[in-house]
Amino acid sequence: GEQVEQRPPHLSVREGDSAVIICTYTDPNSYYFFWYKQEPGAGLQLLMKVFSSTEINEGQGFTVLLNKKDKQLSLNLTAAHPGDSAVYFCAVSGGGNYKYVFGAGTRLKVIA
């Protein structure tokens, strides 16, 4: 079945710097990709959903890139601020079965 590797597990950056989190998946038929943010004690907040037909996706303060050739999904936070400190999870779905496979998470700390 699908496996998702997420790295790095921990990331510390200074305010204003960029932060990059990468997920590598195994199933070439994966079609839907998601990034979620989990703040302390909270559930999952959807940051962005990406479909396999779109390689570059821009959100507010971040960019999500999908490289289907290498089966990689990346989240690039530009100009990180302390409010971005949280655990970030990628999720991959093959479609049809509606089953999400989550990465292990990246704990991001943004230092003021």
Partner 1 sequence: GALVYQYPRRTICKSGTSMRMECQAVGFQATSVAWYRQSPQKTFELIALSTVNSAIKYEQNFTQEKFPISHPNLSFSSMTVLNAYLEDRGLYLCGARTGGAETLYFGSGTRLTVL
| Residue 68 interacting with partner 1 (CB under 8 A) | no
Buried b (16+ CB within 10 A) or exposed e, 11-43: bebeeeeebbbbbbbeeeebeebbbbbeeeeee
Q: Which is nearer to partner 1, 14 or 99 (CB)?
A: 99
Q: Minimum distance between the CB of residue 14 and partner 1, rounded to whole angstroms?
A: 26
Q: Name the minimum Å distance from CB 35 to partner 1.
A: 12
Shortest spacing between CB 82 and partner 1, in angstroms: 22
Which of 92, 93, 108, 110: binder of partner 1 (CB under 8 A)? 93
Q: Which of these, 108, 15, 89, lies nearest to 46 by C-alpha position?
A: 89
Lookup: tokens for 108? 């991001």
Tell me the C-alpha distance between 109 and 112, whole Å. Answer: 10
Residues that bind partner 1 (CB under 8 A): 31-32, 34, 36, 41-44, 46, 49, 89, 91, 93, 95, 98-100, 102-105
